[in-house]
């Protein structure tokens, strides 16, 4: 009696390292700074607090917009965090719009005032 042939052994599967988790840090940063910029921009129309709010809201809005665009680029490259970047961009542009609208209304008051002709 002969023994049946043994099936050939399969080599073990190669060990693959798990891929690192990819996150969109700039998208997260824009989503964190965006609502802060919008809240600061909400105080811009107030009489005395508005001047201080402009000094904080404008740089925050610009930083949010820049980080949002970087986040969109990262989202195109890696495919993650697009929604975060879009939310940050929307918040940044809303804050910038509130600041610019308030400044436009404020300075238009000076342009519309005409000195009265006395005499």
pLDDT digits (tens, 9 = 90+) for 50-66: 888 889 999 999 999 99
SS3 117: coil
* pLDDT exceeds 90 at position 86: yes
Residue 7 scores a pLDDT above 80:
no
The torsion of the CA quartet 35, 37, 71, 81, rounded to 10 degrees, works out to 0
The band of 9, judged by pLDDT with boundaries at 50, 70 and 90, is confident
Q: Is the pLDDT confidence value at 22 over 90?
A: no
pLDDT reading at 118 higher than 60: no
Domain residue extents for the chain: 25-111
Predicted TM-score (pTM) of the model is 0.75
Quick one: which of 27, 28, 38, 55 has its CA closest to 92?
38
Which structure tokens are listed for 108?
Answer: 């238009």
Query: Closest by alpha carbon to 40, among 65, 58, 63, 64?
Result: 58
Q: Is the pLDDT of residue 20 over 90?
A: no
Residue 59: per-residue pLDDT: 96
Contact in structure between 86 and 72 (CB atoms under 8 Å):
yes
């Amino acid at each position: 009696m002969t023994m049946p042939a043994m099936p050939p052994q399969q080599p073990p599967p190669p060990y693959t390292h798990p891929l690192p988790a990819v996150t969109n840090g700039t998208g997260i940063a824009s989503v964190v700074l965006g609502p802060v910029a919008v809240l600061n921009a909400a105080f811009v129309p107030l009489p005395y607090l508005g001047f201080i709010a402009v000094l904080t809201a404008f740089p925050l809005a610009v930083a949010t917009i820049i980080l949002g665009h970087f986040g969109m680029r990262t989202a195109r490259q890696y495919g993650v965090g697009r929604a975060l970047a879009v939310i940050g961009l929307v918040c940044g542009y809303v804050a910038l719009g509130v600041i610019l609208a308030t400044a436009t209304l404020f300075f238009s008051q000076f342009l519309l005032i005409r000195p009265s002709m006395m005499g």
